[in-house]
Structure 1
C-alpha cells in the first residue's frame, strides 16, 4: 500500500510524462477504468479522456512541469495534495489543490481546484 505522498507523486508523474504510450500505461496502473477528473476548466471520464487532458496541458504549456508543494494527506480513501506548475528552472505560475477519492491505491475521482492562475494562463 502506498502512502499519501507516494500516491500523489505517481499522479504528478502522469501529468509530467510526455511519452504518450508510457503515460497511457501509467494511467491504467494508477486510475480505475471509470475514473473521473474535474476542475474548473476541464472534465474527463475514463483513461482515454484523462490522457487527452494531460496531452492538452502539454500542448498548452510546453516544457512546464508539475511538482508537489508539500507532502500529501490521506484519510481512508481520501487524498489531498497541493501542486504547482511552471517552466523548468523558473518560478511556478499556476498552483492548485486536488482532492482524490481512491479505490485501494488507484484513483477513482479527482476534484481539482485552482489556487493561483495568472490571466495569461487562463
Structure 2
C-alpha cells in the first residue's frame, strides 16, 4: 500500500476538474493546475503535449458529447510516481456530475506524476466508445 495515496487522489481530482471545466478560461486554468509544463496526453484518438494541446482535446470531447461529464468509476491506485483509475462519461442529471443515464464512453487511464504532484503524462485506454467516434 503506498504511503501517500492523497498524492494520487489529488492529481486525479484535478484531472477531472480539467475534463469537466466548460469555459475556455476555466479549462485553461484547470489544465495548468493538473498538468506539469510540457505534460502530455495520449489515447487511441489523441497524442498531444502541452497545456494548449490538452485543453484542445478536452474542448473537442465536450463538443462531441455536450451535456456529459467525466466521473471516476473505481478507486485510484498508485505507487511511486504512477497511478491508474477508471472513468466513464455520463449524462449530467440536473446539472450535477453524479450523472445519470448511459455512459457512451468509458476507459482507464495511467498517469505519471512530476515532483510537484502535477501530471507528467496520461496514457488512456478506451473500453467503450460509440460507433463513428
Query: Larger C-alpha radius of gyration, 1 or 2?
Result: 2
In terms of mean alpha carbon deviation, does 94-103 or 20-29 score higher? Answer: 20-29
Corresponding residue number in structure 1 for 2:75: 71
TM-score (norm 1): 0.92
- Tell me which protein shows more strand as a share of its residues: 2
Task: Give the 5 Å matches for 1:91-110.
Answer: 91-104=102-115, 105-110=117-122
Corresponding residue number in structure 1 for 2:123: 111
Once residues 8 and 74 of structure 2 are traced to their aligned partners in structure 1, the CA distance between those partners, rounded to angstroms, is 11
TM-score (norm 2): 0.85
Report the CA distance between 1:92 and its aligned residue: 1.1
Flag structure 1 segments of 5+ consecutive residues without an equivalent. Answer: none
Superposition misfits of 4+ residues, deviation over 6 angstroms: none
Once residues 54 and 119 of structure 2 are traced to their aligned partners in structure 1, the CA distance between those partners, rounded to angstroms, is 12
Q: Deviations over 1:45-97 (max 9, x none)?
A: 10001011111111111111100001111111001010000222212111100
RMSD (Å), alpha carbons: 1.4
Flag structure 2 segments of 5+ consecutive residues without an equivalent. Answer: 93-99
Corresponding residue number in structure 1 for 2:88: 84
